[in-house]
Structure 1
Amino acid sequence: MMVKKSITLNWKKTALLLIIISFSLSLSAQNQEKQFWDHIRFGGGIGLSFGDGFFSGTLAPSAIYKLNDQFSMGVGLNGTYNKQKNFYFSTIFGGSVIGLFNVLQELQLSAEFEELNVSRTWDDSLGFVDDNYWYPALFLGAGYSTGNVTVGVKYDVLYDETKSVYADAYIPFIRVYF
């Protein structure tokens, strides 16, 4: 009879110990999850352009993870629709990865790799062949930072003037993360 009682008592102690460990791990995981989300900053870009039969709209959300006061890294998405009446329309979709380095609090350097799928449909009367291709871009940039805003210029080292969706290899930017 004594043996049975000690086994029952050990089972209760083990169950209690497992509950305490589970509760403590749960609190630790919640704390780690909270710390993870405290380092995430969201931002992105919105573009709108129109005039004389032309329309262009872009949505480009992004998020970065702040590793420390100097380094951040993140990902972004890009979606663009362009239409020139009686000429063409295009859709551009893709993503990017970005690394940010604050040399000083006010000076931010960046490296960003972007891969875009470009689908361009020409008006039939023009006789051009429709395009559908992937375009890579590797931007190296520098900007002035104040608070959540960085203003600067980036350069596409892979720029191809026949395939790029950008008019020039140098592109000014305003980067905002909250």
Structure 2
Amino acid sequence: MRKNNSYTISKSVFITIIALITNTLHAQQQTITTNSSSDFWKNVQFGGGIGLGFSTGYTNISSSPSAIYNFNEYAALGLGAQYTYIKQKNFYNANLYGGSVIGLLNPFPQIQLSAELEQLRVNVNFDDANSNSQDFWNTGLFLGAGYRSGYATIGARYNVLSDKNNIYGSAFMPFVRVYF
């Protein structure tokens, strides 16, 4: 009987030790996961832009939120969304919507280089009964450079995929980029 009792106690001690070790490992794993998750969000910045343009018979309203992840002080990568509404009275109205991927390089604290691939769906409805509506995709690849101070960068970008059918008035565009 004593042998059986000894075996039962040994078995109980062994199970208790395994349970404690497993619980300790699980707690450490949760701590590591929590820290790496919070480190991720410490490197994320949100920003974007809004645009309003009005004149006689013309309206242009746009919104373009975005977020970037800073790998270090020199490089960042992010995603953006865009929506634009344009109306020219007695001529047309258009909806543009889509997304983009942006890469940022900061070789010096004040200089920011950028590359942005943008894909927009364009829906144009003409007011003239003889004109057809247009629905198409527009792709832009913008390369840019700007001066950075704090959270803001002011500069210019150029659409290297621009052609005569481009939805923008020009391949060259100024920008103001803000990330918090």
TM over 0.5: yes
1:176 aligns with 178
Distance 1:48 1:12 in 2: 67
The residue matched to 1:103 in structure 2 has which SS? strand
Distance 1:7 1:93 in 2: 66
Task: Work out whether 1:113 is the aligned partner of 2:114.
Answer: no
Task: Work out whether 1:98 is the aligned partner of 2:102.
Answer: yes
1:146 aligns with 149
Task: Work out whether 1:13 is the aligned partner of 2:13.
Answer: no
Q: Assess if the C-alpha contact under 8 Å between 1:161 and 1:167 holds in 2.
A: no
Task: Work out whether 1:133 is the aligned partner of 2:136.
Answer: yes
Q: Which runs of 5+ in 2 are unaligned?
A: none
Deviation at 1:80, TM superposition (A): 0.8
- Return structure 1 stretches of 4+ with deviation > 4 angstroms: none
Task: Work out whether 1:46 is the aligned partner of 2:55.
Answer: no
Spell out, residue by residue over 1:24-47, the C-alpha distance to the aligned partner (whole angstroms, 9 max, x if none): 111111110111000000000101
Q: Say how many residue pairs are matched.
A: 176
Distance 2:8 2:44 in 1: 54
Spell out, residue by residue over 1:77-112, the C-alpha distance to the aligned partner (whole angstroms, 9 max, x if none): 001111112111111111000111112111111111
Deviation at 1:161, TM superposition (A): 2.7
- Pick the aligned partner of 2:30 from 10, 26, 29: 26
Q: Assess if the C-alpha contact under 8 Å between 1:112 and 1:139 holds in 2.
A: yes
Distance 1:161 1:46 in 2: 26
The residue matched to 2:108 in structure 1 has which SS? coil
Q: Assess if the C-alpha contact under 8 Å between 1:118 and 1:131 holds in 2.
A: yes
Spell out, residue by residue over 1:146-170, the C-alpha distance to the aligned partner (whole angstroms, 9 max, x if none): 11111000000001232x2211000
- Counterpart of 1:136, as a letter, is T
Q: Assess if the C-alpha contact under 8 Å between 1:64 and 1:73 holds in 2.
A: yes
Distance 1:88 1:120 in 2: 7
Tell me the percent identity: 41
Task: Work out whether 1:167 is the aligned partner of 2:136.
Answer: no
Cα RMSD of the aligned pairs, angstroms, is 1.0
